[in-house]
Amino acid sequence: MIVLILTKIVLVPVLFVYFKIKTINKQFRKIKGKAIIISNHKSFWDALLITYYYWTETIHFLVSKSVFDRKNFGSWYMRQIGGIETPLVNSGLNPISGAVSVLQKDRKVVIFPEGRINKTDNFLPFKSGAVLAALKTGAPIIPLYIGGKYGLFKRVKVVLGKPIYIDAILGDKSGKQAVLEGTKYLENVMNNLKKQAN
């Protein structure tokens, strides 16, 4: 908790000064109560940037177990700022149980649907965790795209999208096919936000 508070007080404002951040569609940032924030994942800085946007709230991040297993500063720090360990796919455990637990407490959780850091300009295939968590809890999904480059006085452009209520998008559809359609829908939304950032 102390590390999170210090991050919000010191590091997040420094981040804003260090990077020239431009935000598109600021009005979509604020939504009361539970929500799932999805974002592309190009750097460790992404978590700090998203923390900046929601610095008045407690947010959590889904983080792969493999990251926590490294036992380095990065894994320790992610735990301190709200990281939730996600079980490995072949573990037999529910990979979204941590996200669902947080959402049921009316908090926000960040899910990187690509599943890992991707420094290329093209998205990796999206995983279905965000859709599953949204269907389980009724939480809206806030899409957030991070464009540009991190670096001293380099421009970082953040594009937010309109909150998505995935159950309304899918209607009466259910089952595996509905989850796949919902995941593809999110991928299309993120691609549209990417175009706005260019």
Confidence (pTM): 0.86
Residue among 134, 88, 136, 135 nearest 111 (CA): 134
Give the pLDDT of residue 109.
Answer: 95
Q: Are 93 and 84 in contact (CB under 8 A)?
A: no
Give the pLDDT of residue 92.
Answer: 44
Domain boundaries, given as residue ranges, for the chain: 2-197
The per-residue DSSP string of 89-129 comes to GGG-S-TTHHHHHHHTTT-EEEE-TTSS---SSSPPPPPSH
Give the pLDDT of residue 58.
Answer: 80
Give the pLDDT of residue 8.
Answer: 66
User: Which residues are paired to 108 by β-bridges?
Assistant: 35, 59
Thinking of the domain 2-197, which architecture would CATH place it in? Answer: 3-Layer(aba) Sandwich (3.40)
Give the pLDDT of residue 114.
Answer: 94
**The two three-digit tokens of residue 49, written as one number:** 């940037």
Q: What is the pLDDT of residues 58-113, one digit of tens each?
A: 888 887 766 666 777 766 777 777 777 776 555 444 668 888 999 999 999 999 99
Q: Are 82 and 58 in contact (CB under 8 A)?
A: yes
Q: What is the pLDDT of residues 125-172, one digit of tens each?
A: 999 999 999 999 999 999 999 998 887 778 889 999 999 999 999 998
